[in-house]
Amino acid sequence: MDKTLKMSLLFDFYGPLLTKRQQDIFEMYFHDDLSLGEISEQLDISRQAVYDMLKRSTQTLEDFEAKLGLVARHQQRQTTLEEITAQLSTLSEDLKIGGRQDLAQRVEELTAGVQELFSDS
């Protein structure tokens, strides 16, 4: 996986476990795409301090993932969810072909419900 995407996912799950300062710098670097130099200038701290803070933050996030595995589980689920969604979609189509628009409609509502159930996982 792309490093920035990986970090972004780790941050989604474990970001609240970082200090406010760590969160800010993490977001400036990985989300706002600022360079170490730009962050250093903006916060008036050394480039080395920014680098150290980022290194510690990513290590912390990876340590939590090693213990809880929320990102890995999220990705497994995402795959299963896509399979289920595809099956629900086929079912809905088959119901329409069978002239059961009413039931097809209910399947589509259920699909939305299932997706919502997992949207924040």
Report the interface residues with its own copies, using CB under 8 A: 13-14, 16-17, 64, 67-68, 70, 73, 77, 80-81, 83-84, 87-88, 91, 94-95, 98, 100, 103, 106-107, 110, 113-114, 116-118, 120-121
Minimum distance, C-beta of residue 32 to its own copies, in the bound complex (Å)? 23
Q: Measure the CA–CA gap between 41 and 52, rounded to whole angstroms.
A: 15
Minimum distance, C-beta of residue 42 to its own copies, in the bound complex (Å)? 26
Tokens linked to 22:
């760590």
Nearer to its own copies, 3 or 67 (CB): 67
C-alpha angle 47-6-52 in degrees, rounded to nearest 5: 20
Amino acid at 102: D
Minimum distance, C-beta of residue 13 to its own copies, in the bound complex (Å)? 8
DSSP 74: H
Q: Measure the CA–CA gap between 119 and 9, rounded to whole angstroms.
A: 14
Nearer to its own copies, 46 or 90 (CB): 90
